[in-house]
């Protein structure tokens, strides 16, 4: 940590050299163990951390019981000012461990602001700089067969790069189950003197396997390259050959920085634009507010490299759509940008069917024009009937219309086209939830979490379904997990408040309501989120007043008002029924 001296998160600063924690310049008292624990959390921010890992890191020098960990965590929460049920800084992961949730910034001693990461524009230059650390590929699902394939795949990639004259380091042979944290990646690169680390994961759904890889630069933790590869599961050696060869070729292209004379997959001949686009899709799939904003930056960079790259403009549209859809930005700010970017993509490539899907989403969730939305989705399906994402959002249109059997069939079609997609599998669970098939929704959400236990939206869907089964405590646990993994989405925070209210934890629900109001003074918070909590508390007047504000704002989630079980406490009230008619869907 020679290049970083002070960590910042929220109003706090943590100085490893002086072993001092301060809040807005005021020193706070920590015991030695509390300091070591907080330092480990901050250095590993954003990833789930096992209890045994924390014990090894903080209590390795003394034989103590595991019960010391929750006691120290509780004391740390008090110092940080966390109130019961908030989990603003430390999220408990039941039967697993903890996750440090706030964004962490790194400060130099004399710097007034955070250290900025240099943009990953330059390729590696010298032969030494082309060295890479190849980590064992993780198998999050615990499938031994898949883990073995991941092991062989990492070996194949390392061997292939070595044969091509690249220096490769292998730090270990045991597959990991959880993603390595940022500092661990940097330490591995520094240990071997390599400027980049290749991290990968592999999991299975049915007879398909998906491999996700990313190349991370050690100097500033920039994602230089990220991509997914799907393959039918058969002969393990065939899978290694099929995917390993593609990974090696892509890495060689990125390590050398050469421009390929032929067109790449997609619609650009620019390597720089293509790589920026891949990084954008990587961030887009994470579906947190922070990752979506990173995605916009990457897609705009891709479009700057190649203004005629239609998919780059569409990527901008996709990110702004999700930011608007989940309530991270005002609809009036996001949806016009979705429409403009999607139309720009169509001007460049009129046959790009998925761009019509984006326009259909604007028509449905912002214009509240079901006829225009249907026309756009039908146009998209006519141009490309094999695009899973179009079937997914067409399913949303059917769900809004209350045509659940058709909506489920459309989502099943999306899953058949992309069986390993976490988003598609999660969305299937959400359709089942709206269809009030709660047992099936729970089962589907759990199947998705078997694919990736760290996908926050799947925990959220599971919580929604469990709440409707009146298993409130389990639902609250899932919502809190989703909240931590999503970067504290206000939509997920609202459903946590709703579940707390239904469980008669009214004080906790009020804490959520207070937090949403505080957040609204600093960033956009949809009035729909406030309405959800008020509805759970059975404060109908307040809930309906917020929903009227949401109508004026054209909040996306009001499209589901007629079918959403979360709003059941308001049904039967003439004001609510009038509001549904006003939406017009």
The pLDDT tens digits of the residues spanning 555-574 come to 999 999 999 999 999 999 99
CA separation for the pair 393, 410 (Å, rounded): 9
Q: Which segment of 163-167, 193-197, 247-251, 399-403 scores lowest on mean pLDDT?
A: 163-167
The two structure tokens encoding residue 39: 């330092």
User: Residue 193: is its pLDDT beyond 90?
Assistant: no
pLDDT of residue 163: 57
* Stronger pLDDT, 67 or 34, i.e. the higher one: 34
pLDDT of residue 101: 81
- Beta bridge partners of residue 196, listed in sequence order: 217
Q: Which single residue is written with the structure tokens 């270990």?
A: 172
User: Residue 142: is its pLDDT beyond 60?
Assistant: yes
When pLDDT is cut at 50, 70 and 90, the band that residue 218 belongs to is confident
When pLDDT is cut at 50, 70 and 90, the band that residue 58 belongs to is confident
pLDDT of residue 503: 96
Average pLDDT of 175-196? Answer: 66
Cβ atoms within 10 Å of 129's Cβ, excluding its own: 15
When pLDDT is cut at 50, 70 and 90, the band that residue 180 belongs to is low
CA-to-CA dists, residue 205 to 420, 422, 451, angstroms: 6, 10, 7
pLDDT of residue 258: 38
pLDDT of residue 64: 53
CA separation for the pair 114, 116 (Å, rounded): 6
Closest Cα partner for 585 from 402, 406, 404? 402
When pLDDT is cut at 50, 70 and 90, the band that residue 500 belongs to is very high
Report the half-sphere exposure of 140 (CA within 13 A, side-chain side). Answer: 22
User: What's the farthest any 2 CA atoms get from each other in the chain?
Assistant: 73
**Bridge-based pairing state of the strands 196-205 and 168-169:** unpaired
Average pLDDT of 454-460? Answer: 89
pLDDT of residue 197: 86
CA separation for the pair 450, 447 (Å, rounded): 5
Q: Which segment of 107-121, 166-180, 344-358 scores lowest on mean pLDDT?
A: 107-121
Q: What is the pLDDT of residues 71-86, one digit of tens each?
A: 888 889 889 988 766 6
CA separation for the pair 254, 274 (Å, rounded): 11
User: Residue 125: is its pLDDT beyond 70?
Assistant: no
Average pLDDT of 156-165? Answer: 69
Q: Which segment of 14-18, 454-458, 516-520 scores lowest on mean pLDDT?
A: 14-18
- Beta bridge partners of residue 379, listed in sequence order: none
User: Residue 266: is its pLDDT beyond 50?
Assistant: no
pTM of the model: 0.61
pLDDT of residue 1: 34
- CA angle (257 as vertex; 218, 186 as ends), nearest 5: 5
Q: Which segment of 2-16, 124-138, 236-250, 405-419 scores lowest on mean pLDDT?
A: 124-138
pLDDT of residue 63: 55
User: Residue 49: is its pLDDT beyond 60?
Assistant: yes
Distance of CA 511 to the CA centre of its chain: 25
Average pLDDT of 222-246? Answer: 73
* Stronger pLDDT, 235 or 37, i.e. the higher one: 37
pLDDT mean across residues, the chain: 82
When pLDDT is cut at 50, 70 and 90, the band that residue 395 belongs to is very high
CA separation for the pair 72, 438 (Å, rounded): 38
Average pLDDT of 31-43? Answer: 84
Query: What is the percent of the chain where pLDDT is above 70?
Result: 83
Q: Are 277 and 288 in contact (CB under 8 A)?
A: no
CA separation for the pair 337, 331 (Å, rounded): 10
pLDDT of residue 149: 76
CA separation for the pair 133, 36 (Å, rounded): 28
């Amino acid at each position: 940590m020679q290049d970083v001296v002070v960590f910042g998160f929220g109003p706090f600063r943590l100085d490893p050299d002086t072993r001092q924690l301060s809040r807005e310049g005021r020193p706070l008292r920590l015991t030695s163990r509390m300091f070591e624990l907080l330092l480990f959390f901050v250095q590993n921010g954003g990833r789930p951390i096992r209890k045994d890992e924390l014990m090894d890191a903080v209590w390795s020098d003394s034989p103590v019981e595991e019960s010391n960990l929750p006691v120290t965590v509780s004391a740390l929460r008090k110092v940080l000012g966390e109130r019961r049920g908030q989990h603003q800084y430390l999220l408990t992961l039941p039967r697993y461990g903890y996750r440090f949730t706030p964004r962490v910034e790194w400060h130099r001693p004399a710097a007034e602001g955070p250290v900025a990461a240099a943009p990953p524009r330059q390729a590696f230059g010298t032969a030494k700089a082309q060295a890479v650390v190849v980590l064992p590929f993780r198998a999050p699902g615990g499938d031994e067969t898949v883990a073995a394939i991941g092991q062989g795949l990492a070996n194949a990639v390392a061997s292939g790069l070595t044969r091509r004259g690249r220096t490769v380091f292998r730090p270990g042979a045991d597959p990991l189950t959880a993603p390595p944290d940022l500092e661990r990646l940097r330490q591995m690169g520094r240990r071997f003197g390599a400027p980049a680390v290749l991290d990968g994961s592999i999991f299975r759904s049915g007879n398909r396997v998906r491999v996700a890889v990313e190349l991370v630069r050690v100097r500033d933790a920039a994602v230089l390259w990220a991509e997914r590869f799907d393959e039918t599961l058969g002969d393990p050696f065939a899978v290694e050959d099929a995917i390993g060869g593609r990974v090696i070729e892509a890495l060689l292209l990125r390590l050398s920085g050469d421009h390929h004379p032929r067109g790449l997959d997609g619609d650009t001949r620019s390597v720089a634009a293509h790589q920026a686009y891949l990084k954008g899709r990587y961030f887009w799939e994470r579906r947190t507010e922070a990752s979506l904003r990173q995605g916009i930056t990457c897609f705009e960079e891709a479009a700057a490299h190649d203004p005629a790259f239609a998919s780059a403009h569409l990527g901008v549209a996709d990110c702004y759509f999700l930011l608007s859809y989940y309530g991270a930005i005002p609809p009036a700010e996001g949806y016009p940008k979705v429409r403009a970017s999607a139309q720009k993509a169509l001007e460049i490539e009129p046959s790009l069917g998925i761009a019509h899907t984006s326009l259909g989403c604007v028509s449905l969730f912002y214009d509240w024009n079901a006829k225009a939305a249907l026309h756009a989705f039908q146009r998209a399906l006519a141009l490309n009937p094999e695009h899973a994402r179009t079937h997914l959002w067409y399913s949303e249109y059917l769900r809004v219309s209350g045509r659940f059997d058709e909506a489920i069939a459309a989502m099943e079609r999306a899953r058949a086209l992309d069986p390993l997609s976490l988003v598609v599998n999660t969305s299937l669970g959400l359709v089942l939830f709206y269809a009030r098939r709660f047992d099936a929704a729970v089962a589907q959400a759990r199947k998705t979490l078997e694919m990736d236990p760290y996908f926050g939206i799947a925990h959220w869907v599971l919580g929604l379904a469990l709440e409707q089964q009146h298993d409130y405590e389990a639902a609250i646990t899932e919502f809190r997990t989703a909240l931590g993994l999503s970067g504290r989405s206000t939509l997920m925070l609202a459903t946590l408040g709703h579940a707390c209210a239904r469980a008669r934890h009214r004080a906790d629900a009020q804490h959520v309501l207070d937090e949403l109001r505080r957040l609204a003074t600093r960033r956009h918070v949809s009035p729909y989120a406030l309405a959800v909590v008020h509805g759970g508390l059975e404060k109908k007047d307040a809930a309906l007043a917020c929903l009227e504000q949401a109508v004026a704002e054209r909040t996306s989630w009001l499209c589901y008002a007629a079918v959403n079980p979360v709003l059941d406490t308001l049904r039967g009230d003439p004001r609510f029924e009038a509001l549904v008619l006003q939406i017009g869907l």
